[in-house]
């Protein structure tokens, strides 16, 4: 089922990165198109920290917000009528980009003006949600320029991009990074095609830089079939993964993640029917999964829609506070 939100999910391209640190060129393929492990790197990987302990029974709710057209603060307006906990445990800023500099043949982290506005105004856009007990992540998305998570060809390059992500999280007081491997257009600008090692190496490097932050994976794109390398797997480093096909049930195949860290349910708030959303909630509860994914929250009051799901997951309706 092809997603119907292609145009909506595309993010504006721009001139320069908000974070200007560049990484080593990723456009020369090695003979086997794989990244050699870093000298001295250990094979034993501790289970990633950062996993949330939610205060409501029934698991965690995660919500993407298209900040090009909607306020991230909308996620904080919904609470459980019984108990008062926030409906959404994680709010995701959608989206920053991984761009490609054709002059330097390097990739850069880029925040378009709308994303930059949210980050620059963290005291009014991010901190109020965190003060409610919510976590705020920055989603990273391809931008049709050939740079992506799956075509780094050296650990040095992967580390340098991970450093950009880590620096951004630290500077803006974010709670982690979400990876969405869409719209990279691998091969554009003579960039490499995806290889088997790149994404796992990138996750490894980012986890070392952010040992206590959240790393999540939107289960889609080339990265979804490149989740193990050199005895390591994506589940060693990411905290959560969720289905990317809205209105459907599909379990992300991320080895190492328990049911409590997965969302097979995915809902587009603007287009998924109440009956489908409720059915997905029932499957989530009955099958013991711990995450429920929502996408595309706007300023419109949706507490009635949310209540249908919340009553199944949490035994409570939802209250909207403008």
- For the ranges 51-65, 98-112, 279-293, which has the lowest average pLDDT? 51-65
More confident residue, 320 or 43: 320
Give pLDDT, residue 24.
33
Average pLDDT value for residue range 15-27: 34
CA-to-CA distance for 91 and 119, rounded, in angstroms?
Answer: 13
Residue 207 has pLDDT above 50, yes or no: yes
Give pLDDT, residue 28.
31
Average pLDDT value for residue range 297-305: 98
CA-to-CA distance for 213 and 139, rounded, in angstroms?
Answer: 14
| Other CB atoms within 10 A of residue 1 CB | 8
Residue 203 has pLDDT above 60, yes or no: yes
Question: What residues act catalytically?
Answer: 182
* 153, 190, 290, 310 from 60: Cα distances, Å: 36, 41, 6, 11
């Amino acid at each position: 089922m092809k997603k119907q939100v292609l145009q909506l999910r595309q993010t504006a391209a721009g001139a320069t990165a908000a974070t200007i640190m560049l990484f080593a060129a990723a456009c020369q393929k090695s003979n086997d198109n794989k990244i050699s492990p870093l000298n001295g790197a250990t094979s034993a990987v501790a289970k990633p920290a950062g996993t949330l302990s939610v205060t409501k029974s029934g698991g965690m709710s995660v919500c993407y917000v298209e900040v090009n057209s909607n306020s991230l603060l909308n996620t904080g307006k919904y609470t459980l009528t019984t108990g008062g906990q926030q409906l959404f445990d994680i709010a995701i800023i959608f989206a920053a980009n991984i761009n490609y500099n054709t002059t330097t043949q390097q990739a850069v982290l880029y925040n378009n003006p709308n994303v930059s506005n949210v980050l620059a105004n963290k005291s009014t856009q991010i901190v109020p949600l965190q003060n409610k007990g919510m976590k705020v992540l920055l989603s990273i998305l391809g931008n049709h320029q050939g740079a992506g998570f799956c075509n780094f060809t050296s650990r040095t390059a992967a580390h340098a991009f991970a450093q950009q992500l880590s620096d951004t999280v630290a500077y803006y007081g974010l709670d982690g990074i979400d990876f969405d491997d869409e719209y990279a257009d691998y091969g554009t600008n003579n960039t490499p095609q995806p290889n088997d090692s790149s994404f796992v190496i990138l996750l490894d490097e980012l986890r070392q830089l952010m040992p206590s932050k959240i790393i999540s994976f939107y289960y889609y794109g080339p990265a979804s079939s490149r989740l193990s390398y050199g005895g390591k797997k994506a589940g060693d480093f990411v905290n959560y993964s969720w289905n990317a096909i809205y209105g459907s049930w599909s379990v992300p195949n991320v080895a190492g993640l328990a049911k409590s860290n997965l969302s097979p349910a995915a809902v587009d708030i603007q287009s998924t029917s109440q009956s489908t959303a409720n059915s997905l909630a029932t499957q989530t509860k009955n099958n013991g999964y711990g995450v429920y994914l929502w996408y595309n929250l706007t300023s419109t009051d949706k507490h009635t829609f949310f209540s249908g799901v919340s009553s199944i997951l949490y035994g409570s309706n939802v209250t909207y506070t403008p």
